[in-house]
Amino acid sequence: MIRAVMVINTQGKHRLAKFYDFQPVEKQQELIRSIYGVLCSRAENVSNFIEADSIFGPDTRLVYKHFATLYFVFVFDSCENELAMLDLIQVFVETLDRCFKNVCELDIVFNFNKMHTILDEIVVGGQVMETSSEEVMKAVDEITKLEKSSNAISIVPKSISGRQGR
């Protein structure tokens, strides 16, 4: 099962943290910090796996992928296939890319809410639910539509047009 999904930027700032077993807030922070400590010391052309036993205890694996300014991190146990998890990160990122049209870190910062929606379609309760980014997009679009129809107020606009104007 997948234990946790995290997105951290290269400066160590948190962009998403979802733990599928409950962890207190302080513990979460500590875990992410130690993961980041390991991540930032790794060279570019090495494998995507990290021995996470010292951080998460035995029988846990950690796989990450580095895209521009972001690290996508999945923590999982022996019930998941290592290479498949790597593919799952790809699915996640691809979906984000579809959703935001050439996604960048700022999209994720301002739409963290939506990122949660996407992740909830891919992983539920630590189990992989959907591996096709097309299907995920369909579901996410539907939810967005429903949100819009349910109320005119939009808490977070879909795209952040005013970004450059700041």
Among 89, 95, 98, 117, the residue binding other proteins under the rule CB under 8 A is: 117
In whole angstroms, the minimum distance from the beta carbon of 103 to other proteins comes to: 6
* Coil vs helix vs strand at 58: coil
Is 161 among the residues that bind other proteins (CB under 8 A)?
no
Is 151 among the residues that bind other proteins (CB under 8 A)?
yes
Is 104 among the residues that bind other proteins (CB under 8 A)?
yes
Half-sphere exposure in the Cβ direction for 99 (13 Å, CA): 31
Cα dihedral across residues 105, 109, 113, 119: positive or negative: positive
Is 105 among the residues that bind other proteins (CB under 8 A)?
yes
What's the burial of 28, exposed, middle or buried (CB within 10 Å: 0-12/13-18/19+)? middle
Long-range contacts (CB closer than 8 Å, 24 or more residues apart) made by 41-44: none
Over the Cα atoms of the chain, what is R_g? Answer: 16
Is 37 among the residues that bind other proteins (CB under 8 A)?
yes
d(CA 42, CA 105): 21
**Count of residues near other proteins by CB under 8 A:** 99
Q: Which is nearer to other proteins, 66 or 137 (CB)?
A: 66
Is 23 among the residues that bind other proteins (CB under 8 A)?
yes
Q: Binding marks (x or -) toward other proteins, 60..99, rule CB under 8 A?
A: x-----xxxxx----x-x-x-xxxx-xx-----x---x--
